Structure 1
Amino acid sequence: MDILQSMRFFATVAQCGSFTAAAQQLDTSTTTVSKVISSLEDRLHTRLINRTTRRLALTEAGVRYLQRCEKILNDVREADEEAGSSHSTPIGRLKIHAMAAGGNHYVIDAIAQYRESYPSVMFDLVLTNRVPDLLEEGYDMSIVLAKELPDSGFVAQRLGMTYSILCASPAYLKRRGVPASPSDLYAHDCLRIVNTVMPVEHWRFEGANGVEVVDTPSSPFQINTADGMTIALSRGMGIGIQPVASAIEGLKAGTLVRVLPDYRFEEFGMFAVYPSRKFVDAKTRTWIEFLKTCIPRMLEVDEKIAKG
């Protein structure tokens, strides 16, 4: 019998004042209770209970041991209750990864809205343009933009679809003219985002007439983040591809204009990826359900703005 169970038997005997009463409470036999207490004393090399045919009395060592046992058993009980309640009550901390563009525009806003309903849930949000190893790096979830997800054994919930668009500042277009087709881009300063999400070799446009592929125009400027690209475009440095999430504020403010509005560039699914369906705690479960309603609503609003 394990030590915690032995402690429970000992504490029950001390509280009940007899082996018989303790056996009834523990739903076992008096003989079993007696054997457990004797084994515990043998292991400790200490007499815990003086017993006669009529009564029991704790020794001095037994009194001290009972105090420690009661504290340990209470701590274990509280730990069990806390762990069990996490399945039904959203509480604790979520460590979330998201790709930078979607994280800045969608995930932070979603967290703010979620915490209005669940203020006991706290978040650690890490933004990077790579897919982390959830288990190795200790993430509860990754919110990923991808055409397809690799077979990882993790659970993936599709939250919606987004895409990228071409943008430039009004001042640049006034100075250099507005391209009418993808092939016109060769006459322009085309800025490039270079990272693991955005391709480098070709720009693949999806329009009413199908797909058009343009070799990536030579670029006077390239950068690894969409947020940095937003600044470069708004300063009139050229035309560049922007995820809708990064372009939307500039489009609303008028500092950016959508170029070739009949074309989309690189559609991506947005996925919430997490380790397991089994024993998903309340904070993770409610966060996932919230994302499944919140993110599509945000994407729909942005779609209308991007279309003008």
Structure 2
Amino acid sequence: MLGTSDLRFFAAIAAVPSLAAAARALDVTPPAVSQRLAQIEQRLGLRLVERDGRGLRLTSEGEMLAGRAGAILGDLDALAEDLVQRRGTVAGPLRVVAPFGFGRRHVAPLMAVFARLHPSVTLDLVLTEDPRGAMRTDRWDMLVHVGRLPDLDVVRRKLAANRRLLCAAPAYADRHGLPDEPKGLRDHRCGVVREDQADVSLWSLTGRGGVRRSIRIRPSFAGNDGEVVRAWALDGLGIVERSEWSVADDLRAGRLIEVLPGWKLPDADVAVLMNPRTVRAARIEAFVEHLAGALSPPPWAAP
């Protein structure tokens, strides 16, 4: 009654909070998702999803189908993995999860190079600021992560060092000056990136001699895309906390200047986390080495 494509379709719906999100994940229109879901429910004679103003909720039958679909798809993928492994070739799907900005600037280009080197690999990149949510689907091989690592029992490897910096445009500094001490940040316009449900308005800094200061700022602007917040900082809107990989070129060119250079924010190293189910696949091992080689030394570090 249901084919593999139906199971993959429903697994995608079960992994997201709304049909609109499912449409984005499947790269189709919301009406197409609704229509196909209705067809599956009609074929089974069962209601699988309840929809209300807060999103979607799986019925008990939907929960059962999602669980069984995940197991069946996992077995099929494992079978394909085993067959590829027996050949020892770099082939098959390469499913990578990465943050928006870093994924666009570094991961996507490196995946393209890897695919040219290994034409039997198929690329699948998901950009998100909710890595835990992306990993719940089990439809991933590796997660490229920037910052504090999630507390997960998976194989991980550090790829590159990456500092976090406070910075602002010279135009902002000319108009408002810059703080001499962390507590002065409270008197300035500051911007934050909302990511992974972190407390982004609490900035913790360490000074000379290990002196620590935690400052609660009141954001004047915020967004869920770090490159948008960086662009606002370039426009002179205020002080932002950004990764070195994002602003190194701006600092060298003088488009941004470092704020409180004598104080250090927690590092946000770049690491890769690997799915236990596919960690030993030849394509995974090869791509991790490809990433590590390309990011050592980090391309954003000063020459």
Instruction: Give TM class, smaller chain.
Output: 0.5 to 0.7
Q: Are the equivalent residues in 1 in contact too, given 2:166–2:259 (CA < 8 A)? A: yes
Partner of 2:302: 304
SS at match of 1:227: helix
Which shifted more, 114-123 or 225-234?
Answer: 114-123
Which shifted more, 270-279 or 281-290?
Answer: 270-279
| 1:84 to partner: Cα distance | 4.0
Percent identity at matched positions? 24
TM-score (norm 1): 0.63
Q: Deviations over 1:50-104 (max 9, x none)?
A: xxxxxxxxxxxxxxxxxxxxxxxxxxxxx99x93467522223311101223323
Alignment of 1:61-76 (within 5 A): none
SS at match of 1:302: coil
Partner of 2:107: 107
Partner of 2:139: 138
Q: Are the equivalent residues in 1 in contact too, given 2:168–2:258 (CA < 8 A)? A: yes
| 1:178 to partner: Cα distance | 2.7
Paired amino acid for 1:261: P
| 1:267 to partner: Cα distance | 1.5
Q: Deviations over 1:183-204 (max 9, x none)?
A: 2222321222222265335211
| 1:139 to partner: Cα distance | 0.9
Partner of 1:83: 83
Partner of 2:26: none
Query: Is 1:281 aligned with 2:244?
Result: no
Q: Are the equivalent residues in 1 in contact too, given 2:279–2:285 (CA < 8 A)? A: no
Partner of 2:6: none
Partner of 1:169: 169
| 1:223 to partner: Cα distance | 1.9
Partner of 1:205: 205
SS at match of 1:285: helix
Paired amino acid for 1:205: L
Alignment of 1:186-197 (within 5 A): 186-196=186-196
Pick closer, same or farther for the CA change 1:206–1:120 going to 2, 3 Å: farther
SS at match of 1:293: helix
What is the alpha-carbon root mean square deviation over aligned residues?
2.9
Q: Are the equivalent residues in 2 in contact too, given 1:142–1:273 (CA < 8 A)? A: yes
Paired amino acid for 1:243: S
| Uncovered stretches (5+) of structure 2, i.e. residues with no partner | 1-78
SS at match of 1:297: coil
TM-score (norm 2): 0.64
| Uncovered stretches (5+) of structure 1, i.e. residues with no partner | 1-78
Count of residue pairs the alignment pairs up: 224
Q: Distance in 1 between matches of 2:197 and 2:264?
A: 16
SS at match of 2:269: strand
Q: For the pair shown, which has the larger CA radius of gyration, 1 or 2? A: 1
SS at match of 1:138: coil
